[in-house]
Structure 1
Amino acid sequence: METDPTRVAMVCVQNAGRSQMATAYAEREREARGLEDAVEIVSGGTHPAESIHDVVREAMAEEGFDLSDRTPREVSDSELEACDYVATMGCSTLELDADTDVRDWDLEDPHGKDLERVREIREDVRERVEALFDELEADS
């Protein structure tokens, strides 16, 4: 019997920093844990920026992620309501239907921060994504 994949969304206002970091780590975790068919990842912003913040691209490149081909995108409430989990990055004004598990990770916005501070935010994002995937694995 095939089951629908668990849908996980990484969302912030601009989809140019925290949610892009979270998405990259989520994709890596999904692959490392062999969950490619079990977990679908959605990334977006409520008011997307033109491009990913340069300092975020630089910090993620240090971890082996190339975000140069990614573009912030808008995400709709209906798209998010189709998700099982929605992680907002500290900027949530979302009010979704009751079946969606919304978690506000309350992360500092890396925009305008120096590289050292962005590295700290990046590590916080990585830890939260790993914990979420630990939970997804335990539930499956």
Structure 2
Amino acid sequence: MSNPKPAVLFVCVHNAGRSQMAAGWLRHLAGDGVEVRSAGSAPAETVNPAAVEAMREVGIDITGQTPAKLTWDTARQSDVIVTMGCGDACPVFPGKRYEDWKLDDPAGMGVDAVRPIRDEIRARVEALLDDLAVGRR
């Protein structure tokens, strides 16, 4: 890792569902122990309301998050890049740790369908924290 505090970037197409939930979980579980970033290859205008509601149910507020465009600088400055269905739009930098999480896209789904995705993301974020040896709150 380039910093004592690892920087993790979550990337999906719209940066409105999966990557926002993952970033929310990482902020919640790691606190200040990790620098958290998220971006999309074709960002939406707003975060998916079903993702917002699913996260609110577990006490995590992602309403203040705004989908952001993936930039080369953001990726270059990250230690770990977690992709979630962005395909060839995700840049590849030598020396970075990459993970590709196969997750259903919550776009257009109701909150009942988003809950299992939210819970799978939590499990993956917990495993990532264990791998990074970052303590949890």
After TM superposition, the score normalised by the length of structure 2 is: 0.88
- Structure 2 residue runs of 5 or longer lacking an equivalent are none
1:128 maps onto 2:120 in alignment: no
Q: State whether structure 2 residue 50 is matched by structure 1 residue 55.
A: yes
User: In structure 1, which of residues 96, 99, 118 is the aligned counterpart of residue 95 of structure 2?
Assistant: 99
Q: Counterpart of 1:105 in structure 2: which amino acid? A: W
Structure exhibiting the larger radius of gyration computed from Cα positions: 1
Question: Does the 8 Å CA contact 1:92/1:104 hold for their aligned counterparts?
Answer: no
Please, what is the CA RMSD of the aligned residues? Answer: 1.5
**1:22-69 CA-partner distances (Å, limit 9, x unpaired):** 0000001212xxxx2x42111111111000011111111101112222
Aligned length: 131
- Between the aligned partners of 2:111 and 2:100, the Cα distance in structure 1 is 24
Q: CA deviation at 1:117?
A: 1.5
Q: Residue 19 of structure 1 contacts residue 44 of structure 1 at CA under 8 Å; is this kept in 2?
A: yes
TM-score (norm 1): 0.87
Q: Structure 1 unaligned runs (5+)?
A: none
